[in-house]
Amino acid sequence: MQATRILAIRHGETAWNAEARIQGHQDIALNATGQWQAQRLAQALAAEPIRAIYASDLQRAYRTAQAVAEATGAPLHAEPGLRERGFGTFEGRTFAEVAAAWPEQARRWRERDPHYAPAGGESLHTLRLRVTEAVHRLAARHAGELIVLVAHGGTLDVLYRAATGQDLQAPRTWQLANAAINRLLWTPQGLALVGWADTQHLEGAARDESVG
């Protein structure tokens, strides 16, 4: 079976990204920088032979994916399995606010306890199961083809760990930049890393005044 090539992309920036607020399943829009990043991403991928685009149904990811779909003509599909980790009661708060309000829970979160879930949210273990199931299901449809997955920082973190064999509790030493291009290969045996955190398309270009 031929490998499926995957371009895995985090959505463009939002106001909550800029404020370091926890988004989770909150449906936050792209800010002006995020809209610009989505357009630059779309230009960078315009000539790629993309067979299909799958995006989290949260608008910050879906709107980023729409820009790519418009530039490439590839069909776009919403996929809830690619959503960010649900953070329950933490959502809308900054990391400092969480640490002040729930110091013990913040410790378990900081230490990456794989079975800890904020009230109303998901554990890392649950997130990994959800994301890997979705990606394997989608990639299996496209053997020998190129697909784009537009998702979130937590989603991309799961994919990097899966591709490099790193445990859920291993400290993160890799970037999860907004609108970066990350390249993976999928086979029925799993994921392999090809390239990570390519942001060349976001560098060395003047911002369009129309997006602020």
Residues annotated within the binding site for substrate are 10-17, 60
Inter-residue contact 160 to 193 (CB < 8 Å): yes
Residue 97 token pair: 């606010």
Is 177 in a helix, a strand, or coil?
Answer: coil
Q: Provide the strand spans (E) within the chain.
A: 4-10, 50-55, 76-78, 146-151, 181-187, 190-198
Is 29 in a helix, a strand, or coil?
Answer: coil
- Residues with a catalytic annotation lie at 11, 84
Q: Provide the strand spans (E) within 40-172.
A: 50-55, 76-78, 146-151
Q: How many CA atoms lie within 13 A of 186 on its CB side?
A: 27
